[in-house]
């Protein structure tokens, strides 16, 4: 054998075996380090920023929870739904009624169970999931635009119920949301008085940490779903229902399950929305809210949990920032556009640009910037943020990962 035949390819193993070294081994520590640093910054943020940013952050955390749930339904399983606002309303109204006190509001008599707020939150999540589960048999028989139109009917039904069921919802005037509390600790301005490093921790600071915990839990749960066998089955279902059925996936069963999970996410987002605003009103849960959530996941990147987070932050925080700094932004405020309208024009244009130039959304852009890994031969490959690497795929001898027995 000549010497030329023994020439090792780039990245070959020192023993002579042409086994490439794992890509990105030298930077395997970088991502966990950045995540830890980001978590430390978010934990310390209430000590240094003003109340506006904390309240904006809590509103964005609620939007993150709702967007992740919708992205699991639309982006991962491929089921178009315009009913997300309805499930948010179920969660918000359930929380307000279960934890609210009975009383009067003008000529209307309001009911309430007066139970602890944590019970109201759990009931809101469960009832929203139950509503999604009841709708899932219809969703299992429809697809595409037909499912979208059918789900749209839930929004109009919900608005009618919110306006008519005055005892529970307060009617068109709405009703206030009770403060959240956990084991006697109230997430309000007082009771108890709390200071950290001489900084008073009032409602905004306490809700910031509540939103951080809930959004992080929702994020981790969704990532685990996508990395599991049910997650791969849902992705197969999105690509082709026929192929998924042939591979043993229980199509109707998985559709029902993902509607249940997505609706529970929406219910939790509805509770957080009520806590963020401090009240609920029927006009807050109209078709516009469903469209905004669709904008979040399209702009962030369909099928990506990271994209849902980025899209939710962009769409939910932008109008508030525009309203805050309207005097400093050209053509906004005064004789120009209202802050909310200007924000909608901006992220509407962003959606068009994303669809034209970066179909993977904001997650794709972030992946280009921070998620590149370089192979030994110098080639650059990009791994989608929420899909397992090729090395984690089962071998042909393994049982199908999309089986209905998961």
**Residue 15 placed within a domain:** no
Mean model confidence pLDDT for the chain: 80
Residue 230: pLDDT band with limits 50, 70, 90: confident
pLDDT at position 107 over 80? no
CA distance 69 to 59: 16
pLDDT at position 37 over 60? yes
Dihedral, 353, 358, 362, 366 alpha carbons, nearest 10:
-140
Tracing tokens 């948010």 back to the chain, one arrives at: 88
pTM of the prediction?
Answer: 0.80
**Residue 247 placed within a domain:** yes
Per residue in 205-221, pLDDT (tens digit) is 899 999 999 999 999 99
Residue 325: pLDDT band with limits 50, 70, 90: confident
CA distance 141 to 136: 9
**Residue 383 placed within a domain:** no
**Residue 240 placed within a domain:** yes
The pLDDT of residue 106: 59
The pLDDT of residue 208: 93
End-to-end CA distance of the chain: 52
The pLDDT of residue 5: 45
CA distance 384 to 392: 14
- In the chain, the number of structural domains is 1
- b/e string for 339-376 if b means 16 or more Cβ within 10 A? beebbbebbeebbeebeeeeebbbbbbbbeeebebeee
User: Of 266, 223, 222, which is closest to residue 130 (Cα–Cα)?
Assistant: 266
The pLDDT of residue 120: 94
**Residue 202 placed within a domain:** yes
Q: What is the 3-state secondary structure (H, E, C) of 103-115?
A: EEECCEEECCCCC
User: What range defines the domain where residue 221 resides?
Assistant: 46-286
Residue 117: pLDDT band with limits 50, 70, 90: very high
Q: Which of 94-98, 185-189, 300-304, 339-343 has the lowest mean pLDDT?
A: 339-343
Which one is predicted more confidently, 78 or 5?
78
Residue 195: pLDDT band with limits 50, 70, 90: confident
Question: For helices 305-324 and 339-357, what crossing angle results, to 10°?
Answer: 150
Q: How far is CA 150 from CA 79, 85, 269, 270, in A?
A: 12, 14, 22, 21
Residue 53: pLDDT band with limits 50, 70, 90: very high
Query: DSSP state, 4?
Result: G
The pLDDT of residue 91: 95
CA distance 186 to 285: 27
CA distance 293 to 83: 10
The pLDDT of residue 333: 65
The pLDDT of residue 399: 40
CA distance 23 to 17: 17
Show the DSSP H helices in 11-71 as ranges.
30-44, 51-71
Determine the average pLDDT of the residues in 17-37. 63
Determine the average pLDDT of the residues in 39-65. 92
**Residue 16 placed within a domain:** no
CA distance 324 to 106: 33
The pLDDT of residue 308: 92
Peptide bond just before 192 cis, omega within 30 deg: yes
Tracing tokens 């109201």 back to the chain, one arrives at: 120
The pLDDT of residue 27: 58
Which one is predicted more confidently, 26 or 218?
218
Per residue in 350-398, pLDDT (tens digit) is 878 887 887 778 888 877 776 554 344 444 444 444 444 444 444 443 4
CA distance 332 to 342: 7
**Residue 327 placed within a domain:** no
């Amino acid at each position: 054998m000549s010497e030329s035949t023994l020439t090792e390819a780039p990245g070959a193993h020192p023993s002579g075996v042409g086994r490439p070294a794992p890509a990105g081994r030298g930077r395997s520590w970088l991502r966990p380090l950045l995540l830890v640093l980001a978590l430390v910054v978010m934990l310390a943020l209430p000590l240094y920023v003003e109340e506006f940013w904390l309240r904006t952050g809590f509103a964005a955390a609620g939007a993150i929870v709702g967007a992740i749930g919708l992205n699991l339904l639309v982006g991962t399983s491929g089921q178009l739904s315009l009913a997300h606002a309805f499930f948010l309303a179920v969660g918000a109204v359930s929380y307000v009624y279960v934890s609210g006190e009975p009383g009067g509001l003008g000529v209307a008599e309001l009911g309430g169970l007066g139970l602890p707020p944590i019970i109201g939150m759990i009931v809101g999540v469960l009832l929203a999931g139950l509503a999604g589960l009841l709708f899932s048999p219809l969703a299992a028989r429809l697809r595409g635009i037909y499912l979208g139109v059918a789900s749209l009917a839930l929004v109009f039904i919900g608005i009618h119920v919110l306006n008519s069921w005055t005892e529970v919802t307060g009617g068109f005037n709405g009703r206030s949301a009770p403060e959240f509390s956990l084991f006697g600790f109230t997430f309000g301005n007082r009771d108890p008085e709390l200071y950290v490093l001489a900084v008073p921790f009032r409602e905004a600071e306490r809700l910031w940490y509540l939103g951080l915990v809930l959004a992080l839990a929702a994020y981790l749960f969704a990532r685990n779903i996508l990395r599991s066998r049910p997650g791969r089955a849902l992705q197969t279902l999105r690509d082709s229902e026929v192929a998924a059925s042939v591979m043993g996936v229980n199509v109707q069963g998985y559709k029902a399950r993902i509607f249940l999970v997505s609706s529970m996410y929406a219910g939790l987002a509805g509770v957080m929305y009520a806590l963020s605003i401090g009240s609920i009103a029927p006009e807050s849960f109209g078709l516009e809210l469903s469209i905004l959530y669709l904008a979040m996941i399209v702009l962030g990147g369909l099928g990506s949990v990271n994209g849902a987070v980025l899209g939710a932050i962009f769409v939910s925080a932008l109008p508030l920032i525009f309203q805050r700094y309207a005097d400093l932004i050209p053509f906004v405020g005064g004789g120009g556009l209202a802050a909310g309208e200007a924000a909608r024009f901006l992220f509407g244009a962003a959606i068009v640009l994303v669809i034209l130039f970066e179909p993977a959304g904001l997650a794709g852009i972030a992946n280009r910037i921070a998620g590149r890994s370089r192979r030994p031969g110098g080639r650059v490959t990009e791994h989608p943020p929420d899909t397992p690497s090729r090395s984690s795929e089962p071998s042909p001898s393994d049982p199908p990962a999309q089986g209905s027995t998961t």
